[in-house]
Structure 1
């Protein structure tokens, strides 16, 4: 079994805007994954995947809009994030470890008529899943993210972020979120830090920048290359793209390149004031997504 930490529940008791009921799935590796499961099961299922260093709290502005329209929202916390278990050893966290855990959740909940909602690592991982089970997915809402194919040079913005991340293993997450999203209250910014009592809980957060495939033979690259082919040739669902235009790492140039890969991708919704964490400007995104889907 994998040795893991579990954040005390009381750290989540008074988070602003996050009055959702927790759900848990214990996977074959013995780790417990937390996920939100809101709304009715009669409509579409919006599967909302977060990235680094966030967790399902990121979707609190969008979830009520989707559920009010009669849809279901499932928003998991990746292992190492949020209310999910956090393996102690950084080496546990790998591209396939995270991807396999998401596939296991989709199968365990038997999700169908899924609109895949992704941003940051939610996309690097999530965009590789529909090719494995295309019958489950009917839509894609894609925000600032990319495919880690390993055969496209990494941007200088990302290389700078990775270097900074490696120099700061005890990342000050609340401060980072408030710099990226100046409209957050102090309490909202602190909520992003809630899952991590100390740096021992941040292994998953630390690992992600070093998991981005940076060569064609890097772990995850071949899977991402196959996914690129899927989105180019085989995708038949409805797509919406929203771009936080002030993102220095996964902003307009990266997203414009991704749009060319996704078959049938319409012109994106551009959010001039939004940065990397597009969901923090998510009310407009969710409302326009409902009209699209």
Structure 2
């Protein structure tokens, strides 16, 4: 039975500041037939590196607008999808449609559909929770990692910061996304904050925003633990690519402590770039991060 979904009108995305790229869509991913997924696909298809930029909650590919130009300038290809429920992608109406497997399988099928290779995984928040689980399933496709303010949940608490965030989201069925971003990102303009609100005409479009905190595998038996355990093993013992870590130090949920712990799980991960005034949405400080990451990579 097809999943009932809403589609944000295109006119809500007109003239977004710093986001000039053409939309791409796919509506027949295996297992997701009838749902239209949006993604950016910029740069040469035969580029030596493909930057797969994965957003989290409650953002969308707009979050990468400060990093994408740097990757393109370096001759890379950039693919930045909007997960279902976010950005320009379709938004299932039933909150229960959003599961860990639903989102992870979307990304696996998209990587296969586009036949992405020599991938530099660029991830933060749920982009990391999901993204870090992809290479164990297709290791031949990934060669580098840029990781920011995220974690690998394996059935244990992420700490009181996450517990507080999860409890707060439960009280916000119509979360004001732009206002949230602006509170933690003082240099964000009103127009940029409004761009984060653009995907959501009303609360009925925010099922994904509401659901994501409930899906983090912090308790025994939750979906995603097996994938998280496989990811932890992969990054600690089988990863042979290059890594770069940036930490938004003002993040009260996934800041220095959790990221230092994550670094210990990533084989040969060098000393991270620490950005004192950056919060959870560290891509809003993305241009210097992207330049530092590229400078650190060899080849």
Please, what TM-score do these two structures have when normalized by structure 1?
Answer: 0.98
Q: Which residue of 1 aligns with 2:282?
A: 278
Contact 1:216/1:222 (CA < 8 Å) preserved in 2? Answer: no
Q: Cα offset for 1:235?
A: 0.4
Q: Which residue of 1 aligns with 2:233?
A: 229
Q: Which residue of 2 aligns with 1:218?
A: 222
Q: Distance in 2 between matches of 1:39 and 1:285?
A: 20
Q: Distance in 1 between matches of 2:287 and 2:222?
A: 37
Q: Which residue of 1 aligns with 2:263?
A: 259
Q: Which residue of 2 aligns with 1:185?
A: 189
Question: 1:94-243, aligned counterparts within 5 Å?
Answer: 94-150=99-155, 152-243=156-247
Alignment equivalent of 2:85, drawn from 66, 77, 80: 80
1:68 aligns with 2:73: yes
Alignment equivalent of 1:37, drawn from 38, 41, 66: 41
What do residues 53-109 of structure 1 show as CA deviations (whole Å, max 9, x unaligned)? 000000001001110110010000000000000000000000000000000000000
Q: Distance in 2 between matches of 1:93 and 1:197?
A: 19
Q: Distance in 2 between matches of 1:37 and 1:194?
A: 20
Q: Distance in 2 between matches of 1:127 and 1:184?
A: 28
What do residues 107-141 of structure 1 show as CA deviations (whole Å, max 9, x unaligned)? 00000000000000000000000000000000010
Q: Which residue of 1 aligns with 2:24?
A: 23
What do residues 140-186 of structure 1 show as CA deviations (whole Å, max 9, x unaligned)? 10000001111x32310110100000011100111101001010000
Superposition CA RMSD, Å: 0.7
Q: Distance in 2 between matches of 1:62 and 1:257?
A: 25
Q: Distance in 2 between matches of 1:148 and 1:161?
A: 16
Q: Which residue of 1 aligns with 2:98?
A: 93
Secondary structure of residue in 1 paired with 2:206: helix
Secondary structure of residue in 2 paired with 1:284: helix
Q: Distance in 1 between matches of 2:36 and 2:142?
A: 25
Contact 1:243/1:252 (CA < 8 Å) preserved in 2? Answer: yes
Q: Cα offset for 1:289?
A: 1.2
Contact 1:47/1:115 (CA < 8 Å) preserved in 2? Answer: yes
Q: Distance in 2 between matches of 1:39 and 1:154?
A: 37
Q: Cα offset for 1:39?
A: 1.1
Q: Distance in 2 between matches of 1:43 and 1:229?
A: 28
Please, what TM-score do these two structures have when normalized by structure 2?
Answer: 0.97
Q: Distance in 1 between matches of 2:18 and 2:290?
A: 16
Q: Distance in 2 between matches of 1:216 and 1:232?
A: 22
What do residues 241-262 of structure 1 show as CA deviations (whole Å, max 9, x unaligned)? 0000100000000000000000
Gaps of 5+ in 2: none
Secondary structure of residue in 1 paired with 2:230: helix
Q: Cα offset for 1:14?
A: 1.4
Q: Distance in 2 between matches of 1:154 and 1:244?
A: 17
Q: Distance in 1 between matches of 2:95 and 2:24?
A: 25
Secondary structure of residue in 1 paired with 2:58: coil
Q: Distance in 1 between matches of 2:214 and 2:73?
A: 39
Q: Distance in 1 between matches of 2:207 and 2:237?
A: 36
Q: Cα offset for 1:273?
A: 1.3
